[in-house]
Amino acid sequence: MDDRHPLDDRLPAMLRGGQRLRGIFNSIPHPAIVEMCGYAGFDFVVIDNEHGSGNLETTENMLRAARASGIAPVVRCMRHDIPRVLDMGASGVQIPMVDSAEEARDLVQQVRYPPVGRRGSAFSPRAAGYGAFPGAAHTQRSDQAIALIVMVETPQAIDKAGAIAAVPGVDAVFIGPNDLSHAMGHGSNWKAAPVQAAIERGLRAIAAAGNCGGVLALTPEDEDRCAEWGARYFATVTTSLFTQALHQAARQGRQPGSAKPLGY
């Protein structure tokens, strides 16, 4: 990897590598959080522009922070933001609510340059070093270095997970457990047995198609169970970790019934 190049080119090979990858969703729009995730040793960070409040300028600065701290950056974004996110230098895009192989093939078209796809070409954005890394070399690096991760989050998508995973150009398929649980009528209880059975079925179909399956894993037990089903791309959530740590810190030193920490 050229240390000067804005585009971190490691992610597709990481997804193909067969090893477990541990990453983290981050919806807090600040580059320092991304740096903290990198220095902590996560393999990747998902900058969450589906549920986060960051704008595109902040996203670009978060991508800079990822490059500086050595963590591969994925941006979860809506379809209309794909071109700009790629031009900012994301190593991958993670697209929600993909329900069919046809949708997946269309996303491949948006991510790849012609003749494979229809991505528009420009060398002035950050991904090409503002013109420092132009031309065919930029096109080739982008097509080889940018990962497309699609999310399956409905029962219909689980039924088609194997076909979606088999689409050339799809580098990983991530099962969104919370939306899947809601779509199945179980609300936020994605640990419900029917939801877990659907996740298992989806992950096994993705693995059978020779692709990398991903899922939310908030505990080591979650990760180990889903790894047995074929998953290799695991993510936790910054806000969950921060809130747990803050709760723990707030409780330290308190006596039962005490209104404030001891020593104050």
| Catalytically annotated residue among 5, 51, 182, 247 | 51
Q: State residue 255's pLDDT score.
A: 63
Q: State residue 254's pLDDT score.
A: 72
- Give residue-wise pLDDT tens across range 189-217: 999 999 999 999 999 999 999 999 999 99
- The amino acid present at 92, given as its one-letter code, is G
Q: State residue 147's pLDDT score.
A: 98
Mean pLDDT of 127-133: 96
Say if residues 174 and 149 touch (Cβ distance below 8 Å): yes
Q: State residue 257's pLDDT score.
A: 59
Angle at 165 between CA 119 and CA 89, to 5 degrees: 35
Percent of the chain with pLDDT over 70: 95
Query: What length is written for the chain?
Result: 264
* pTM for the model: 0.93
Q: Is the pLDDT of residue 188 over 50?
A: yes
**Rounded to whole angstroms, what are the CA distances from 250 to 7, 54, 125, 132?**
40, 28, 44, 49
Say if residues 152 and 135 touch (Cβ distance below 8 Å): no
> For 14-61, what is the HEC assignment?
HHHCCCCEEEEEECCCCHHHHHHHHHHCCCEEEEECCCCCCCHHHHHH
Catalytic status, residue 51:
yes
Phi-psi region of 139 (alpha: psi -120 to 50; beta: other; left: phi over 0): alpha
- Rounded to an integer, what is the distance from CA 84 to the centroid of its chain? 17
- Give residue-wise pLDDT tens across range 60-94: 999 999 999 999 999 999 999 999 999 999 999 99
